[in-house]
Amino acid sequence: MLRVPIRSMATAVRKSLTIGLIPADGIGKEVIPAARTAIEAVGSDIPPPKFIDLIAGFESFTRTGVALPEETVEALKNQCDCALFGSVSSPSKKVVGYSSPIVALRKVLDLYANVRPVVSVSANPGEQSLIDLIVVRENTECLYVKQEQQIVGEHGKEARATRLITERASTRIGKMAFELALARPRKHLTIIHKSNVLSITDGLFRESVRAIPTNDSKYEAVIVAEQLVDSAVYRLFREPQIYDVMVAPNLYGDILSDAAAALVGSLGVVPSVNAGDTFVMGEPVHGSAPDIFGQGIANPVASIRSAGLMLRHLGYTRAADRIDNAVDSVLREGQLLTPDLGGSAKTQEVTEAIVKRI
C-alpha cells in the first residue's frame, strides 16, 4: 500500500475544500480529470470539494505569450486550499520569453519540498513491498534557479549556469526528510551529494542536513547515511531495498526519482507532492507525453495517487488510504493496465475501475 507518512499541515476544520486544477499540457488534460473523479469518490471522508479550473503551460504560452497567468497565481494564493498540476511541455531549445510554469509555481508558492514515494505493489494485500522508498527533493534551488548566460569567448561560445545552494533551503528540506524518516519503521535517511567534487555547494548541502540531529535531539533516532549521487544511481538499480528516505538537491532528486520509477514499472504510477508550510500541490511525475496525447491511453494512476498524497498531506488519512488501496487493488489484479504497463486498457477504463473500488 502507498501509505506514505507525510507531515500534515496544521489546519482548521474546513467546511469545504477548494482545489485548483491545472491540467497544463498534453496528457495532463486527460489525467487530472481522473484525479478529480477519484477525489469526488471519497465522499464524506473529506469536506465537500470545490474545483477551480486554472491555466498554465507551454500551450498557454503559445496562445497568449504567458506560461503562468497572474490570475492562476492569485487564485492559488487566495482561493485554493491545495492544487493538482498535470504536466508541462517544456521545449528542449530556448524559446524567448518562456520558462517552466511548474518551476515558477514552486518558487512563488514556496513549495520547497518535492516528495516522491516509489513503492512496488506487493502480490498479496498486507504483504510488505519489495521497493518502498521516498525521494525528498529540494525544490527551489540548485541549477533550477535558471540563471544561465551564453557568451562568445576565446574558443567560441561559452554557456554558464549558476548553481545556488543555501544553508536555509538545505536545512528545511533536511528537516522534512528527517520528519518522514522518523515516521517510518526503518527510520533511515540517506543524504545524496557529490561533495567530493563540488565541495562548496554540495558540501554546504551535506553539512546543513548532517547538522539537523545535532541541533534537535528528536531526530537522533534516525540512522543517517551518505551516498555520492553516481553510486546512488548504481545502487538504486542493484539494491533498491537499501534505501528508505533519500534527500537530495534539486537536480539530483529529479534524476533519482525518475530513475526509481523504472523499478516499479512506469513513470505513470509514481506520484509526488510539492509541499510548503502552508500549501501543497500534487503532481504526477510523468511528463506531457505528446506522442500519446489524445489517444485515451495515458496512465491515470500517478495523478490519482498524487491526489491521495495531497489529501494525506492535508491530514485526510482515511480518504488517502481508500485511494491508495483502490489503486493497489487494480494494479494487483492486472486486468486493466494501460500500455505503459504492458496492457491495452484506456485511461477511462482504469479510472472507472479505481473509482469503483474507492
- pLDDT tens by residue, 286-300: 989 999 999 999 999
110 is catalytic: no
Regarding whether 251 and 205 lie in a shared domain, the answer is: yes
Regarding whether 206 and 142 lie in a shared domain, the answer is: yes
Regarding whether 294 and 227 lie in a shared domain, the answer is: no
pLDDT at 119: 93
- Domain with 259, as residue range(s), is 114-275
Regarding whether 27 and 99 lie in a shared domain, the answer is: yes
pLDDT at 248: 97
The string of DSSP letters for 303-337 reads: HHHHHHHHHHHTT-HHHHHHHHHHHHHHHHH-SS-
Regarding whether 307 and 250 lie in a shared domain, the answer is: no
pLDDT at 7 over 90: no
Regarding whether 76 and 36 lie in a shared domain, the answer is: yes
List pLDDT tens digits, range 211-238.
999 999 999 999 999 999 999 999 999 9
CA distance 38 to 267: 19
CA distance 173 to 263: 25
pLDDT at 9: 58
Q: pTM value?
A: 0.91
- Amino acid identity of residue 259, one-letter, is A
* Residue 262 within any structural domain of the chain: yes
Regarding whether 122 and 107 lie in a shared domain, the answer is: no
Regarding whether 107 and 46 lie in a shared domain, the answer is: yes
Domains held by the chain: number: 2
* Residue 188 within any structural domain of the chain: yes
List pLDDT tens digits, range 253-264.
999 999 999 999
- Grid coordinates standing for 344? 491495452
* Residue 244 within any structural domain of the chain: yes
- Give me the catalytic one of 45, 98, 107, 258: 258
* Residue 259 within any structural domain of the chain: yes
pLDDT at 126 over 90: no
CA distance 293 to 288: 8
Regarding whether 181 and 85 lie in a shared domain, the answer is: no
Regarding whether 181 and 158 lie in a shared domain, the answer is: yes
pLDDT at 153: 85
203 three-state secondary structure: helix
Domain edge (last residue) among 231, 254, 275? 275
Domain edge (last residue) among 275, 302, 327? 275
List pLDDT tens digits, range 71-93.
999 999 999 999 999 999 888 78
Could you tell me the CATH number of the domain that includes residue 315?
3.40.718.10
Domain edge (last residue) among 275, 310, 339? 275
* pLDDT tier at 188, thresholds 50, 70, 90: very high
* pLDDT tier at 1, thresholds 50, 70, 90: very low
- Give me the catalytic one of 254, 324, 328, 340: 254
- Give me the catalytic one of 216, 230, 234, 356: 230
- Give me the catalytic one of 144, 243, 252, 316: 144
* Residue 280 within any structural domain of the chain: no
* pLDDT tier at 8, thresholds 50, 70, 90: low
Burial of 74 (0-12, 13-18, 19+ CB in 10 A): exposed
* Residue 38 within any structural domain of the chain: yes
Regarding whether 204 and 122 lie in a shared domain, the answer is: yes
29 is catalytic: no
Regarding whether 248 and 120 lie in a shared domain, the answer is: yes
List pLDDT tens digits, range 150-186.
889 888 999 999 999 999 999 999 999 999 999 999 9
Q: Are 55 and 22 in contact (CB under 8 A)?
A: yes
pLDDT at 92: 76
Q: Are 301 and 355 in contact (CB under 8 A)?
A: no
- Give me the catalytic one of 29, 194, 252, 340: 194
- 8-state DSSP, 48: P
* Residue 215 within any structural domain of the chain: yes
Q: Are 64 and 327 in contact (CB under 8 A)?
A: no
* Residue 281 within any structural domain of the chain: no
Instruction: Give me the mean pLDDT over the 315-328 stretch.
Output: 96
219 is catalytic: no
50 is catalytic: no
pLDDT at 6 over 60: no
